[in-house]
Amino acid sequence: MVTSIHDQANRNTDNAVQYCYMALYKLTECSIETYEAATQTLLRANHAEPVSFLQAPLYGKIQAGTGKSVVYCTIHTDSRLIGCGLAVAYTAPGGLRFLYVPYGPICSEWNQELYAAVKSFYKPIALRLGCTFVRLDTDNLPTSTQLRPISSRLARTASLQPRSEWLLDTNPEVQTLWEAFHKHARYNVRLAERANADIKVYEPRKAPLDTFFALMQVTSDRDQFGIFNRDYYASYLQNLTADDGFVIVCSIDGKPAAAGLFVIYDAQAHYVFAGSANEFRKIAPAYSVIWHAVQEAKRLGCTRLNFGGVRDAVKGQDLTGVTAFKKRFGGYVVHHVNPIDIVYRPFHYFLFRLYKMVR
């Protein structure tokens, strides 16, 4: 085979461009302690949208506690910190492993050069962990680089975070927020008050785990969805400080009726887990849980209450009732584009795509 001087020059140019990408941006794998310091620096900087707690050190610690591999990194340019991210290793059907960066990385800028640096950074890590691809789930990357998000069918995995979330701006006065509730929401809050509902707000570490988990089990059986084991919820409660979240329990006639766990990150209260008893469904105590969560979130300085996922076409879940419930408190929807997969093992990825197509 004869290689021309022109061809060799083109290859040298390509290598020089790739080296330039790496010189512009430096990604470094780091400890959870270094990662936490980086997140605090970035959160103090101005940014338009709040950062999800799924990129918080707390979330990484909880995932690692379940036996998953968690990778932390920082992103610098010219010695200036511009981003960081955590990725969690998951196993898809057939034993295929991949790294997922949920609603991340946290980054103040995205362009083709940074994408090339990210791709190069994760390659040895993916090989080390036996991962076929790395899934970046950020809304900024596709619009900044013209990269095409993956199809909804390919994106649909158990680990995929919701493509649509419901948020409530909690900046207005409490009375204004109350008046913006749908009349059915206000009615159900008053119904619980007439039933002499007892509302308790707990620091996470002082919350009654057994009560909370029992309500989760009842809800799981009734509504036919899977839940984690008791230790998983215990890990949340044990790792959350009073500044990191709160638990609300509503009791009626001395019996637990409903409960919710809320995680606070970047001035946003996330409605993460909830459960309710069958006995008091006509009273709908979950509305009282949310009403008091709104007030507690405001007291703790939160500017948003994130209700989590609502119905979307990508996940394919029947969330009609859940969506209607969340919307009755006012607010707005935030849509997320599909992730981008960085593929390192093309043949294995081809088999994964084939499985998703025929499934």
Least confident of 135-144, 232-241, 297-306, 332-341: 135-144
Residue 47 or residue 230, greater confidence: 230
* The predicted structure's pLDDT at residue 109: 83
Q: Give yes or no for residue 309 having a pLDDT over 90.
A: yes
pLDDT tens digit string along 160-192? 899 999 999 999 999 999 999 999 999 999 999
Q: Domains for the chain: give ranges and CATH numbers.
A: 5-161+338-358 (3.40.630.30), 165-335 (3.40.630.30)
**Distance from C-alpha of 247 to C-alpha of 250, rounded to nearest angstrom:** 10
**Distance from C-alpha of 229 to C-alpha of 62, rounded to nearest angstrom:** 13
**Distance from C-alpha of 321 to C-alpha of 324, rounded to nearest angstrom:** 5
Cis-peptide into 50, omega within 30 deg? no
Quick one: tokens of 69?
A: 């591999």
Q: Give yes or no for residue 274 having a pLDDT over 70.
A: yes
- 23 pLDDT tier (thresholds 50, 70, 90): low
For residues 122 and 132, the answer to whether their CB atoms sit within 8 Å is no
Distance of CA 23 to the CA centre of its chain: 31
Q: Give yes or no for residue 156 having a pLDDT over 90.
A: no
Q: Give yes or no for residue 22 having a pLDDT over 60.
A: no
**Distance from C-alpha of 74 to C-alpha of 101, rounded to nearest angstrom:** 13
For residues 68 and 42, the answer to whether their CB atoms sit within 8 Å is no
At 332, the amino acid letter reads Y
User: CB-side exposure of 317: number of CA atoms within 13 Å?
Assistant: 20
Torsion-angle region of 78 (φ positive above 0: left; ψ -120 to 50: alpha; else: beta): left
**For the chain, what percent of residues have pLDDT higher than 70?**
92
Nearest to 210 by CA among 282, 130, 140, 275: 275
Handedness of CA 53, 57, 58, 62 (dihedral sign): positive
Return all residues near 347 (Cβ < 8 A) that are at least 6 apart.
none
Quick one: tokens of 128?
A: 């080390």
* The predicted structure's pLDDT at residue 10: 45
**Distance from C-alpha of 116 to C-alpha of 285, rounded to nearest angstrom:** 50
Residue ranges of the alpha helices (H) in 152-251? 152-155, 174-180, 183-194, 209-223, 230-239
**For the chain, what percent of residues have pLDDT higher than 90?**
77
